[in-house]
Chain A
Amino acid sequence: MSPNKIRLVRFLVILGVVLLWEFYARVFATSSLSAAPSQVLAELWPKVLGEPRVRAAIGVTLIELIVAFVMSVVFGMLIGVLIGMTDIGRRSFYPVVLLLYGIPQAILLPLFVLIFGLGPASKIAFGFSHGIFPVIVNTIAGMRNVNPLLLRGAAAMGATRFEQLRYVMFPHMVTAVFTGLRLAMTLTLLGVLLAELFVSQGGIGFFTLLYAETFNPASLIALILTLALLAIVLNELVRMVEARFSRWKE
């Protein structure tokens, strides 16, 4: 199938779903519980995005997300390299990481709020607790299976341990690490939003709760759409950076 045809089919299916939704919402649904796409779009501007307090809330959430993500990446890679670098590290600590990764963090959320308070700190901490694990795990995974011949070649050419790490290990790890980064981006967002929804004073969670409790589905869906768009944009950003680092793989 030609790419154009694929795009056309995709577009038609999505259009169909939106139309069905519009039809359902206008004919059958209770207006205080759900809204049609056309109403949501009408609500998006100026009522939701035009409202300075909503925009500020989105900004707060975005900053929480970025801080949590950057922390996940920096600490995750650091810990991953430290654990993955030696056989003993991998054998003794990797199982611990996997064990922690397996705990559903949602049950720890009240604890995070208790420790870090009601403000942004608890959201960042919770997002971080989600984001760091995929970074660690994929960093460790990336350090394995490096072609030993390349390391030997580098050693034969006189590369120091650090140069072997910098020019052989790290480039080899790029693919795996970026898999981790994309996962981390999604999970950090999840963590931040969960914490926002749990308790919030000024972030996006505050407004989703407000819209839901005042039976204002159009505004609620408009806000959710904005968030979804944000997540997609952030994910694409990570993908673009990855593509830049992966030119050699064509």
Chain B
Amino acid sequence: MEFPGRDPSQRVLALDDVSLDIRRGEFVCLLGPSGCGKSTLLNIIGGMLTQTSGSATVNGTPVTSPRPDDIAYVFQESTLFPWFTVLENFRLALKFRGVEDANWRDRAMQSLSAVGMEQFASHYPKQLSVGMKQRINLARGLCVGSEVLLLDEPFAALDEQTRMVLGEDLSILLARRGKTIVFVTHSLAEAVFLADRIVVMTARPGKVKASIEVPEPHPRSPDFMLTDAFQDIRKELYGLLRDEIRQTVAAMRVARDAQA
């Protein structure tokens, strides 16, 4: 994946020779230093970007544009429309997907109660906290019923504690539904706690550096974080990432000096 930039000198090779197979029902975390192309990869899988070379397929069909029937997105920041209530937002999501469901209200309420937000159905997004909004974004992603869920650092804007609680809830939720999930994150602990498999990426241009399994069944309890197995994987990830982060920082310094 290459971004052209305004002139050839600004051309950026974001991803290089990435090959990744994700099984049905698998929870995969993409982990890597800032700017390594994690989100770019996610956008290619979701059809929000078209790769400059290579191919991406979901369920055997190449992805060239958003496919709301198969793929739902949750972004880093809330994409709830501020001018509609929570419930109206759900209705619209179903409408965009082309689902004319007479039971849309029940369906939306079910998803909302799955994340414990059913009492906020008629609130406007402005009236909710950042954490509540992300819960609802997650619920909306579940509500549309697509098989694949792409999460682009959905908890990045939250504080540590809210993040942990949401992570736990997510683990419980997903254990029940068997969705295929790709989750982009910066957080080592989040990755180990949530993922079945962690894909570690290199500094730009992003490549797959390692792929690490987390053999712990869902739903996972917070106690999992205290186990040696958890700590070992976390350490291993840290070792893998450290060099890449250094490299990213060094590259940033070079770019800055070149500009000065």
Contacts and interface: CB of A to CB of B under 8 A. Distances in A.
Interface of A: 149-150, 152-159, 163, 167-168, 171-172, 174, 247-250
A250 B66 contact: no
Contact of B84 (A155, A163, A174, A248): A248
Given A149-B79, A167-B81, A168-B81, A154 B96 contact: yes
B54 interface: no
A248 B79 contact: no
A248 B124 contact: yes
A71 to B, nearest CB: 27
Nearest to A245: B83
Contact of B81 (A150, A174, A247, A250): A150
A156 B124 CA distance: 21
A155 to B, nearest CB: 6
B126 A158 contact: no
Nearest to B150: A156
B92 A167 contact: yes
Interface of B: 46, 48, 66-69, 71-73, 75, 77, 79, 81-85, 92-93, 95-98, 124-127, 144
Considering residues A154, A156, A159, A174, which has the most beta carbons from chain B within 10 angstroms of its beta carbon?
Answer: A156
14 contacts: A150-B81, A153-B79, A156-B48, A156-B79, A157-B72, A157-B92, A157-B93, A157-B96, A157-B97, A171-B81, A248-B85, A248-B125, A249-B82, A249-B126
Contacts of B97: 157-158
B83 A158 contact: no
Nearest to A249: B126
Contacts of A249: 82, 126
B126 A250 contact: yes
A243 B97 CA distance: 31
Contacts of B92: 157, 167
Contacts of B96: 154, 157-159, 163
A244 B98 CA distance: 29
Contacts, number: 63
Given A156-B68, A250-B127, A150 B48 contact: no
A153 B66 contact: no
A149 B223 CA distance: 36
A149 B66 contact: no
A168 B81 CA distance: 7
Contacts of B82: 248-249
Nearest to B137: A153
Contact of A153 (B73, B83, B144): B73
Contacts of B73: 153, 156-157
Contacts of A154: 79, 96
B23 to A, nearest CB: 23
A158 B77 contact: no
